[in-house]
Structure 1
Amino acid sequence: MRRQWWIVAAVAAVGLWFFISIEPVLMPFFVSMILAYLGDPLADRLEAMGLSRRLSVSLVFLLLTLIIVLTLVVVVPILGRQLGQLVESLPAVLNWMQVTVVPHIRSLTGMDLSTDFDQMRQALVDNWRQTGTLAATLLTQVSKSGLALIALVGNLALIPVVTFYLLLDWDILVAKVRGSLPRSWEPAAVKLASECDEVLSSFLRGQLIVMLCLGVIYAVGLSLLGVRFGLLIGLLAGLASIVPYLGVIVGIGVAEVVAFFQFDDWLILLAVAGVFGFGQLVESTVLQPKLLGDKIGLHPVAVIFAVLAGGQLFGFTGVLLALPVAAMVMVVLRYLHERYKNSSLYDAGRHRIHDEESP
């Protein structure tokens, strides 16, 4: 038995080394896996309604394609334009802070921050300028290297192809993996896989819908108030809400600063707070109970650590995999904790004390 575990550990180590070695080419496959996982339940429902698997997958694939294309055509240009306007307004904000905020701090505390603030402002402005030209520089470098351009286009072209075939054969692949498991491991593995699927489906599908709804609420509310960069701030706050309370903290902080410089009116600040308060009310009373419930169990600190660790280890691919892997690790740790609580190792001390106390 011990030899079998050593073989399993060795195979797992070789597999991990292999995936780390080919990490640069894995990104389109992992993106396709996520898209296929999200689309498979809908394809199964269409198939249950009497459609063939290929037709069901084609309809789901068409829906995913329409969503992505509409996002690229409608939302991305507006976000790019608002981001450019935000970069252009940054020097005015920094000048106001230097003229108004720094002297006020000096009068209250006696600390002279003028020199340090000048250096910080210059560094920020330089970095923002570099960021503004980053896209053009990247495109120039990619165009100079035909191989890099071919690799980029190839990776993007692979995503829809791999997604379609993964959706088409998803149930077959799952059945083959289950059939390949050792018979003694199958009950525990199926139980863990079911719990992982429950957590992942709740997190990926539920959390994505929650983030989208919050982003729309924030963006529409700020835009109706006339706040500049309302769409950009709202959608970024919605994305940041993947970590509980981070989205509302970041969003309301940025929106309040923008509204203050734009209107110089305290009432608009209260209105901005009302938009985010309404979003939190909808999230806590409707979105969270209906879409997420108590199935996820990912602590906010665990979410932050998983994203940072995934990005540090595997770059963009690690960021994509961080939360799904964290959810599965949480399920496995919970299973191991239950096994430990029911083991003789956990009860050994209790039995020894009981034996010593017995006459």
Structure 2
Amino acid sequence: MLNIFRSWTQRYFFDEEAILLLILLAVGLLVVVTMGNILAPMIAAIILAFLLQGVVTRMRRWGLPEGASVWLAFLLLLGFITSLVLVVMPILWRQLGNLLEELPRMASDAKAQLVQLPSKYPEFVSQAHVEKLTQFANLELGEVGQSLVTYSVASVPMLVAALIYLVLVPILVFFFLKDHRLILGWVAAFLPRRRPIMRRVWLEMNDQIANYIRGKALEILIVGVVSFIAFAFLGLRYSLLLAIAVGLSVLVPYIGAAVVTLPVLMVGLWQWGLGPEFYWLVVTYGVIQALDGNVLVPVLFSEAVNLHPVAIILAVLVFGGFWGFWGVFFAIPLATLIKAVLNAWPSKTAGDAIATNV
């Protein structure tokens, strides 16, 4: 047994750079798990810098100097944040408040519909089933009410944190864009001069993570805007709130679309009942999801990632459990990083390992 373990370690852990890379990855994982919330503004700034670096590169191809390109991209970010805060957020907040006010009435309407089920479908639903379902719904609504109270009590610290984000993140984005070569050079100074494995992993991941983040941001924007236009055209209430939820659901592959479907259909069912408008909503929402999965995603991510769906779902579950929202957002890039490391990891052949052991 010891000889087998020794042969395995000599086969995969003979290279000093590989061992250093493993240590760096372990330290990075430890920092993310223990200090992820503290470093969240910097992580958000890195994401936005990745998004805007493509804009800077495009402007430089048009002949603009780098300094002017950085400033124009930064002003573009400030304009987007300003419009988001002054235009989108008030509408979103108003719709959310209206939805919370109407939740008790929606719950009472749902209970009234449940009471009628035993008389309409006695062979499928009994009175005992309705009573159990009503008790479960009351329990869940009570927990939701307690959560809302807790959320309202904690809203002041959250507002302070949001203000910090609004000030700190744009400043960090500007310096990441302006001094990214200087920052990368400073980090590289602590690494070995000869680092072919790290360079291979870096070159693969730099393009893939940048393409993934930009593609995911574009996917969120397209799906959210198209959903809002469709919901508003159909006259669905809380169209902006539901469209934003549908757009953000693409952050979690497969799972997000399944989760966000329930509130969309519940609001439509409560507003129209089982009428033609509700069926039009179901068809429209299904078309949006089908076009996103079969057209938009292949176009945006054809060269970004190449992972099996099982690997994607496993990455979402594992990294989401470790790191919450950011773990879900970075699940695919982190899984791609692991794949790149495994592909670049040096290994001796079985014959070399046996010869070394002898």
Q: TM-score, normalised by structure 2?
A: 0.78
- The equivalent position to 2:72 in structure 1, one of 51, 54, 59, is 59
Cα displacement (A) at 1:224: 0.8
Number of equivalent positions: 338
Instruction: State the Cα RMSD in Å.
Output: 3.6
Q: Distance in 1 between matches of 2:86 and 2:308?
A: 35
Paired AA for residue 45 in structure 1: R
Q: Distance in 2 between matches of 1:10 and 1:24?
A: 22
- The equivalent position to 1:28 in structure 2, one of 28, 32, 41, is 41
Residues 177, 134 of structure 1: alpha-carbon distance in 2 compared, 3 angstrom cutoff:
same
Uncovered stretches (5+) of structure 1, i.e. residues with no partner: 349-359
Greater relative contact order (Cα < 8 A, sep 6+): 2
Paired AA for residue 59 in structure 1: L
SS in 1 for 2:128: coil
Residues 9, 258 of structure 1: alpha-carbon distance in 2 compared, 3 angstrom cutoff:
closer
The more displaced of 299-308 and 203-212 is 299-308
After superposing on structure 2, the runs of 4+ consecutive aligned residues of structure 1 that deviate more than 6 Å are none
Q: Tell whether the 8 Å contact from 2:319 to 2:328 is kept in structure 1 after alignment.
A: yes
Which residue of structure 1 lines up, in the alignment, with residue 60 of structure 2? Answer: 47
Residues 243, 20 of structure 1: alpha-carbon distance in 2 compared, 3 angstrom cutoff:
closer
Residues 89, 243 of structure 1: alpha-carbon distance in 2 compared, 3 angstrom cutoff:
same
Asked whether 1:212 is paired with 2:221, we answer yes
Cα displacement (A) at 1:76: 2.0
Which residue of structure 1 lines up, in the alignment, with residue 171 of structure 2? Answer: 161
Residues 195, 130 of structure 1: alpha-carbon distance in 2 compared, 3 angstrom cutoff:
same
Paired AA for residue 279 in structure 1: I
Cα displacement (A) at 1:221: 0.7
Structural mapping, 1:88-167, within 5 Å:
88-101=101-114, 104=117, 107=122, 108-110=124-126, 112-140=128-156, 142=157, 153-154=163-164, 156-167=166-177
Cα displacement (A) at 1:231: 1.9
Q: TM-score, normalised by structure 1?
A: 0.78
Cα displacement (A) at 1:77: 2.1
SS in 2 for 1:25: coil
Which residue of structure 2 lines up, in the alignment, with residue 273 of structure 1? Answer: 282
Asked whether 1:344 is paired with 2:343, we answer no
Residues 72, 322 of structure 1: alpha-carbon distance in 2 compared, 3 angstrom cutoff:
farther
Q: Distance in 2 between matches of 1:180 and 1:320?
A: 29
SS in 2 for 1:113: helix
Percent pairwise identity: 28
Residues 230, 182 of structure 1: alpha-carbon distance in 2 compared, 3 angstrom cutoff:
same
Q: Tell whether the 8 Å contact from 1:87 to 1:128 is kept in structure 2 after alignment.
A: no
Structural mapping, 1:297-336, within 5 Å:
297-315=306-324, 317-319=326-328, 321-336=330-345
Residues 98, 334 of structure 1: alpha-carbon distance in 2 compared, 3 angstrom cutoff:
farther
Deviations 1:28-60 (A, max 9, x none): 111111111111122123234333322211111
